[in-house]
Chain A
Amino acid sequence: MSLLLSTILTLCVLGVLSAVILYVVARKFKVYEDPRIDEAEAMLPGANCGGCGFPGCRGLAGALVKEDDISALFCPVGGAGVMTAVAVYLGKAAPEREPQVAVVRCGGSCGNRPRTNTFDGASSCAVMSSLYAGDTACSHGCLGKGDCVVVCNFDAIFVNPETGLPEVDEERCTACGACVKACPKGVIELRRKGPKGRRVFVSCISKDKGAISRKACNVSCIACTKCQKVCAFEAITIENSLAYIDSNKCKLCRKCAPECPTRAIREVNFPPRLVRVAESEAKVGTKAEVVDVEPENK
């Protein structure tokens, strides 16, 4: 009986002693962490994609709490809604950033850009571009092996088997920029999403001279400067035989797109061009019609 009693007593004393030690140690070595970090982290999407520039959501939450001016911090996944909520909670001015989306700047589909050889190495754009120019005559465009698809955390990009080019699901794309970093050719760019998702951009990054890039691909920019001449807002610059539309200056007037002889300028999410189509049809028409029309005009 006494053995039983002494055992229980010893255990109890040991338990209490350990509790006291643990309590003292926990108090002594306690690291204070702002409880707001936990709260802010809970508000963030929790995707840990790294799109904000921090390793994960907690990193951004820590920075949001620590910095007084949070205008340089932004979560592209959560967007303005989440950022406002966090800013209100922290009592700071909410950072503003226009929503962006990933844009694939290459139109060299299987039909537009004939394959000149077959690549049989590891199925990776990075490996392919480390070895040679690619399986087409264009050494700048998309390689189509889908490194961008592998890195996307949101299932927002996929390679269309018909065209061999990646396509972005705008609903899902959070503009985290993972695909931009993964692309060895620099084909993908983050651009302003634009009002109602409307955007105009040059879907080509070939820096080859016009004649060379045109030979390699039907829809390459040949730097003919027609788009630049028609643009009233000076949004188009041409450098290294390549046109680029500045999304901050572009007013979405869409005058440039029909001018492009290779149709390298793409316009997305616009309603169909009713008037324009009618005009261009009249222009294209058959040769006889055009001859008929012209004398009347004179």
Chain B
Amino acid sequence: MSKTFKIGGIHPSDSKLSRGAAIEVFGLPQTVTIPVAQHIGAPAVTCVAKGDQVKTGQVIATAAGFVSSNIHSSVSGVVTSVDDVPDAGGMRRKAVTIQVEGDQWAEGIDRSDKLMSSVTLSAKEIVEKITAAGIVGMGGATFPTHVKLSIPPGKKAECLIINGVECEPYLTSDHRVMLERSEELLVGVQILCKALGVEKAYIGIEKNKPDAIAHLKGLVSKYPGVEVVPLKVQYPQGGEKQLIDAVVGRQVPSGALPIEVGAVVQNVGTALAVYEAVQKNKPLIERVVTVTGKSVKTPANYLVRIGTPIEALIERSGGVPDDCEKIVNGGPMMGRALSNPTAPVTKGTSGILLMRTKEARRPAATTCISCAKCVAVCPMGLEPYLIYKLACKTMLAEAEEHRATDCIECGSCSYACPAALPLLDRIRLAKAGVMKIARERAIKQK
């Protein structure tokens, strides 16, 4: 019996159409639009103006506080505007638009392919470099990595868990990184271990990626303390708390952070970015994005500069198919429908999914029959049907009692519901409402 998390979970078809497509360098677009808020926390403050010449890797916006992140130019060229532009959801947010001219890199960045495997810097220097490089969690949550690596006083990290689960159907960007950038990834893991002061690192990989498991298992002997942990396929195993449960069998208490049980989780994409930042001085300016879908001509994995318009990626993969009804930013479970295809690729864009009408249409919602399937599949042990009903009646105090804020928005409940109720839509609303009243309460207590 292989390892997995113990509460709830579902088994959607994995549909990894692009698992065999090697990472393809996308090349330079004509213009890039780089939003200043690509992470959780305060939006960065721009430090360039219209007309400025910028080089690839140059800082264009600096972190506004501890929980924030630097933003770098992903291309070289001229800043054409610093203005509000519509993001993937159509909301206007501040972004820097750069007209691409050549490909001049900022000084100090090592662009060679040579593997630099010796880690010479101290833990403090590593975290400083990661902070400067603007690295955020690349699994999609975009939480600044340096914050995760700064262990609060009184707590101690015991192990590092590398998230190579990629439990979202369709997405294959992490899978390809594990296959093609494995050595760099493993050095990145060692750097993270050193930064945290831990000896043990686990790389959790689901068994639907046997090639990645075999490949990394063959390599880890060179890297002491690193262990590959094959996991049973189950969604949402890529959730931080689920992964900790699956790999080391510890349960993170409600409302607590993983460090409470001595674990720190980082995505494989993040580990690769850490390698590049620390060993090569290269800030986070590009990432691997999967473009996929049942009727997409060539599902692919592209290495894309941040700020490239999403529609350019779709165009490269054969354009929007005729039967495409919905474009999703992310995977089918947690991704959000994209209302504006001109929006740019950001640090958290792991994939673009073009759904056919058949898959995209949501069936008409009927009535809850109290079958409790949602309760059975909820990986956080919540009662989604109940929180849903409380949210419909805006009974936020009761929703808080039923731990609405513990919801990780994985969508398992909506997936399992035979009545096709929009459970997650409402629960997300309740969660936001509860967080708001909790904040207000905290201010009052002060």
Please give, as numbers and ranges, the residues of chain A lying within 8 Å of B88 by CB-CB distance.
132
B428 near A132: Cβ-Cβ < 8 Å: no
A132 touches B339 (CB 8 A): yes
* Smallest CB gap from A136: residue in B: B90
Residues in A with CB closer than 8 Å to B422 are 121-122, 127
- Assembled-state Cα–Cα distance A208/B91 (Å): 11
Whether the pair A130, B428 counts as a contact (CB closer than 8 A) is yes
- B332 → A minimal CB distance (Å): 14
Question: How distant is B399 from chain A, measured CB to nearest CB, in Å?
Answer: 14
Q: Is the CB of B336 within 8 A of A131?
A: yes
A133 within 8 A of B: yes
The CB with the most chain B CB atoms within 10 A, among A117, A122, A137, A208, is that of: A122
Q: Mark A70-107, 1 if CB is under 8 A from B, else 0.
A: 00000000000000000000000000000000000000
**Which residues of the partner chain A approach B426 to less than 8 Å between Cβ atoms?**
122, 124, 127
**Quick one: given A117-B339, A122-B422, are A131 and B89 in contact (CB under 8 Å)?**
yes
Determine the chain A residues whose CB is within 8 A of the CB of B92 once the complex forms: 139, 208, 212
- Chain A nearest Cβ from B34, distance in angstroms: 20
**A116 CA to B342 CA in the complex, in Å?**
13
Interface: A166 (CB within 8 A): no
Asked if B147 is at the interface (CB within 8 A of a chain A CB), the reply is: no
The answer to whether B432 touches A130, judged by C-beta atoms less than 8 angstroms apart, is yes
Q: Is B321 interfacial (CB 8 A cutoff)?
A: no
In the complex, chain B residues whose CB is within 8 Å of the CB of A121: 362, 422, 425
Q: Which residues of A contact B429 (CB under 8 A)?
A: 126-127, 130
Residue of B nearest to A212 (CB): B92
Q: How far is the CA of A132 from the CA of B326 in the complex (A)?
A: 14
B86 interface residue per 8 A CB criterion: yes
Say whether B361 faces chain A, with CB atoms less than 8 Å apart.
yes
Whether A120 touches B336, Cβ cut-off 8 Å, given contacts A127-B425, A131-B89, is: no
Q: Output the nearest chain B residue to A126 by Cβ-Cβ distance.
A: B429
Docked pose: A135 CA to B337 CA in angstroms: 12
Contact call A133/B339, Cβ cutoff below 8 A: yes
Report the separation of the CA atoms of residues A212 and B86 in the bound assembly, to the nearest whole angstrom: 11
A127 and B92 CA atoms in complex are apart in Å by: 19
Chain A interface residue count, Cβ-Cβ cutoff 8 angstroms: 18
A122 and B361 in contact, given A133-B86, A134-B90, A208-B92 (Cβ under 8 angstroms): no
User: Which A residues from 110 to 150 make CB contacts under 8 A with B?
Assistant: 116-117, 120-122, 124, 126-127, 130-135, 137, 139
Q: What per-residue 1/0 map shows which CB atoms of B325-342 lie under 8 Å from chain A?
A: 000000000001101000
Q: In the complex, what residues of B have CB within 8 A of residue A133's CB?
A: 86, 89-91, 339
Provide the residues of chain A in CB contact with B339, threshold 8 Å: 116-117, 132-133, 135
Number of B residues whose C-beta is below 8 Å from A?
A: 19
In the assembled complex, the Cα of A133 lies from the Cα of B88 at a distance in Å of 9
Contact of A122 with B90 at beta-carbon distance under 8 Å, contacts A117-B339, A132-B339 already known: no
**Residues of A contacting B432 with CB < 8 Å?**
130
Chain A residues with CB under 8 Å of B362's CB are: 120-121
Residue from A127, A131, A132 having most chain B Cβ neighbours under 10 A: A132
A139 touches B90 (CB 8 A): yes
Residues of B with C-beta under 8 A to A132:
88-91, 336-337, 339
A131 to B426, CA, bound (A): 11
Give how many A-B residue pairs fall within 8 Å (CB-CB).
51
Q: How far is the CA of A122 from the CA of B363 in the complex (A)?
A: 11
Measured between C-beta atoms, what is the minimum distance from B85 to chain A in Å? 10
Give every chain B residue within 8 A of A120 (Cβ-Cβ). 360-362
Tell me the bound Cα distance from A147 to B31 in angstroms: 40
The 0/1 profile, CB within 8 Å of A marked 1, for residues 403-446 of chain B is 00000000000000000001001101100100000000000000
Residues of A within 8 A of B360 (CB): 120
A120 to B337, CA, bound (A): 10
Residues of chain B contacted by A131 (CB below 8 angstroms): 89, 336-337, 425
Q: Distance (Å) between the CB of A128 and the closest chain B CB?
A: 9
In the bound complex, CA of A163 to CA of B88 (Å): 27
When distances are taken between beta carbons in the complex, the residues of chain B under 8 Å from A127 are 422, 425-426, 428-429
- Find B425's partner among A116, A122, A208 (CB 8 Å cutoff): A122
User: How far, in angstroms, from A120 to B91 measured CA to CA in the complex?
Assistant: 18
Interface set, chain A 192-209, CB cutoff 8 A to B:
208
Within 8 A of B (CB), among A13-36: none
In the complex, residue of chain B having the shortest beta-carbon distance to the beta carbon of A138: B90
Known: A121-B422, A122-B422, A132-B339. Is A137-B90 also a contact (CB below 8 A)? yes
B window 136-185: CB within 8 A of A:
none
| B361 CB contacts on chain A under 8 angstroms | 120
CB-based nearest A residue for B433: A126
What's the nearest-Cβ distance from chain B to residue A138, in Å?
Answer: 9
Distance in Å: Cβ of A52 to nearest Cβ of chain B: 20
Q: Note all chain B residues with C-beta closer than 8 A to A130.
A: 425, 428-429, 432
Cα A121 to Cα B364 in complex, Å, equals 10
**Least CB distance, B56 to chain A, in whole angstroms:** 30
Q: How far is the CA of A117 from the CA of B336 in the complex (A)?
A: 14
Closest to B388 in A: A122
| Residues of A close to B425: CB separation below 8 A | 121-122, 124, 127, 130-131
How close is B417's CB to chain A, nearest CB, in angstroms?
12
Report the minimum CB–CB distance from A139 to chain B (whole Å).
Answer: 5
Write the nearest CB–CB distance from A117 to chain B, whole angstroms.
5
Within 8 A of A (CB), among B57-90: 86, 88-90
Q: What is the chain B residue whose CB lies nearest that of A117?
A: B339
CA distance A131 to B361 in the complex (A): 17
Chain B residues, Cβ within 8 Å of A117: 337, 339
* B89 / chain A contacts, CB cutoff of 8 Å: 131-133
Expressed in whole angstroms, the Cα–Cα distance for A208 and B339 within the complex equals 18
The answer to whether residues A139 and B428 also contact, given A116-B339, A122-B422, A132-B339 and a CB cut-off of 8 A, is no
Query: What are 8 A-to-B residue pairs whose CB atoms are below 8 Å?
Result: A117-B339, A122-B365, A122-B425, A130-B429, A131-B425, A132-B90, A134-B90, A135-B339
- By Cβ-Cβ distance, the 8 closest A-B pairs, closest first, are A133-B90, A132-B89, A122-B422, A122-B425, A127-B425, A117-B339, A133-B91, A120-B362
Residues of A in contact with B (beta carbons under 8 Å apart): 116-117, 120-122, 124, 126-127, 130-135, 137, 139, 208, 212
B residues near A (Cβ < 8 Å) are 86, 88-92, 336-337, 339, 360-362, 365, 422, 425-426, 428-429, 432
Known: A131-B336, A139-B91. 12 other contacts (CB 8 A): A117-B337, A117-B339, A121-B422, A121-B425, A127-B429, A130-B428, A132-B88, A132-B339, A133-B89, A135-B339, A139-B92, A208-B92
